[in-house]
A and B are shown apart, each in its own frame.
Chain A
Amino acid sequence: MTLASFAFLSLNGLTLAALLFIMASGLTLAFGLMRVVNLAHGAFFMLGGYVGVAVVDRTGSLLAGLGAGMAAGLIPGVAMERLLLARVRGIELSEALLTIAIGMIIADGLLGVFGGYPKSLAVPESLRGRVDLGFVQYPGFRLGILLLAVAVGAGLGALLTWTRLGAAIRAGVDDRETAQSQGINVGALFGIVFALASVLAGAAGVVGASYLALAQDTGVRVLMLSLVVIIIGGLGSVTGAAAGAVITGFVTSFANAFIPQFALFILFAPLAMVLAVRPQGLFGRAAA
């Protein structure tokens, strides 16, 4: 393998990792707070993607598309959390099953509205160029996704480390009962984190549609990859989501090039290895 192709595949892995981190960071944080996993997360990705692509097609503005995609994630996210999940609060499995049902409804609805043809984001002319990194030419837009993920990571890190809200979230993730007894409203915090996660899923759908065509199965694929990321990284840990995303992104990218018939199945290897050694994931805390 030449250095250029190695660099190219590494960048593919890294930019896929970026997309997965945007998806998984909110998912894992919401899980850490309330042990609710949003299995409609892939459907929110699709919804954000379709709405964002439609807006970009009409207006030509990527920012407008990104905003629309984020709103398309936010609205069903908040509605689902306030109107439906609130009714079965605390019954973990009912909550998870309810999110599957909503995910199925959204995905099948999208198939009905947009049809089965794969759709992609038309990246604006000005962002379509390739960037010369010295050893390899790489699509600038995908590097943009990487920057966006770094920004999301840095933003989440700053929020969690330096703000009162972040401190409350950390307290809730570490020990929900104690946080609650100290007057922290974990239910309200969860609403905020869940909304944030839904916005991020919508945004990921828009930028992700630049190279993962939106098709019937895309939502479930992205959900599966996000689940692998947070299981490897450890449920509840944003750092873990970053580590899990890098592992998942690199394995998928290199497998795609060398063993395409096992491109996704090969993820079983890191998943099984991590679970064998650390069942709680790389950065997860052992269950009490």
Chain B
Amino acid sequence: MNDNRARTMLVVGAAALMLPLVADDYVLVLALRALMYSLIVMSFSLLAGELGLVSLLQSTFAGVAGYGLAILSTSYGWSALPAAAASLLLTLATAAVFGLVSLKTSGVGFMMLTIALGQMVWALAFQWIDLTRGMDGIVSIPAPEFAGLNLRDPRAMYFVTAAIVVVCFASAHVLMESRFGLLIRGIRDNAPRMRALGHPILRARLAAFLIASFYAAVGGILLTWETRVITPVALDLSRAVWVLTAAVIGGTTLLGGSVVGVVIMVTLEAVLSQYTDRHILVFGLILAFAILLLPNGVSAFVSDLWAKRRGRSRETSAVKLAR
């Protein structure tokens, strides 16, 4: 990371920390959701950008974690932290099973498989009514309280969430700069060669898949604490496409892109809801135009402009994805 980008991130981070002091509750709640969703989008971008696998399961994993938390803390009366830990484990177990089934495939085949698996989980939440209460979903999920911090207060929740999100993004960054990051980028660029060099392809892919799913699960747990409701809508394909759209318009460059995409999507959603119910239609249009016109995403588009001024060029993320 060069000085310029570090400085930009510092300024953005400081501004984000100041937000609760100046924003009203409505803006604060939007910012909270953006922070939480940015974990899910980062989880998607991690797999799409670094491993070259487009997984439409990442919002599903957030939903699985949310359901685990909701069921344990309402039907079984678990307190917040053990319920969160158990639902993280549940999500990782689900991701391990799904990963073992799907990670031998790649490209469009992998993507199709993630859609099918995601819809199976949706169906489970919809049809296993004894456990999930079906379409009605689970309501009045208790908000956690730790050490005198009542997270029902959006300001307290904001600081806790911001801290968790910063830790997640920082750890993802460190990981991608490590040998492991090199390994999975190598697999993305040329899996046969990496196999020939003796690297365990499937194990590395599975590890990356589990790590990404962990971040999505953290996002899902925070979201469930914040909204205190979970319904099968959390597992809907349209939610996966929301995440995909945010990642595509932000660009799948790990850190900046996810946040840019989510902030655009959340803002847009808030504005749109004043005029129309057809959010999904608008997001579909945005996704289509983004794929056709801005294959690099907005943040890459901006840094492309910079790069052009410096006379460098970049590969498009679509080309990166296609490899």
Contact = CB atoms under 8 A, between A and B. Distances in A.
Contacts of B127: 260-265
B119 A221 contact: yes
Contact of B284 (A37, A102, A217, A268): A102
Contact of A228 (B111, B116, B278, B288): B116
Interface in A239-288: 260-265, 267-268, 271-272, 275-276, 279
Contacts of B244: 97, 100
A20 to B, nearest CB: 13
B241 interface: yes
Contacts of B291: 88, 94, 97-98, 101
Contacts of B277: 112
A102 B319 contact: no
A235 B111 CA distance: 13
Contact of B115 (A90, A109, A224, A272): A224
A92 B109 CA distance: 10
B284 A264 contact: no
A145 to B, nearest CB: 23
B108 A93 contact: yes
A271 B244 CA distance: 25
A123 interface: no
B107 interface: yes
Contacts of A217: 236
A87 interface: yes
A231 interface: yes
B318 interface: yes
A271 B128 CA distance: 20
Contacts of A100: 241, 244, 287
Contact of B112 (A37, A265, A268, A272): A37
How extensive is the interface on chain A, given as a class?
35 or more
Given A97-B244, A101-B284, A102-B288, A92 B129 contact: no
A271 B101 CA distance: 9
Q: Which of B117, B119, B278, B292 has the most CB of A within 10 A?
A: B119
Contacts of A279: 104-105
Interface residues of B, number: 47
A102 B131 CA distance: 34
A36 to B, nearest CB: 8
Contact of B322 (A93, A265, A271): A93
Nearest to A272: B101
A37 B108 contact: yes
A265 B319 contact: no
B80 interface: no
A119 interface: no
A276 B101 CA distance: 7
A39 B278 CA distance: 20
A288 to B, nearest CB: 11
A267 B287 contact: no
Interface string B103-137: 01101110111011101110110011111000000
B284 A108 contact: yes
A167 interface: no
A16 interface: no
B173 to A, nearest CB: 24
A108 B278 contact: yes
A92 B237 CA distance: 20
Contacts of B113: 227, 231, 275
Interface of A: 31, 35-37, 39, 84, 87-88, 90-94, 96-98, 100-105, 107-109, 112, 217, 220-221, 223-224, 227-228, 230-231, 235, 260-265, 267-268, 271-272, 275-276, 279
The 7 closest A-B pairs by CB, nearest first: A264-B123, A104-B284, A105-B284, A224-B119, A108-B281, A101-B288, A101-B287
Given A100-B241, A275-B105, 17 more contacts: A87-B292, A92-B108, A96-B111, A97-B287, A97-B291, A98-B292, A103-B284, A104-B284, A104-B287, A108-B281, A109-B281, A220-B236, A220-B237, A223-B115, A224-B115, A264-B123, A268-B120
6 contacts: A39-B115, A104-B284, A231-B109, A235-B109, A275-B104, A279-B105
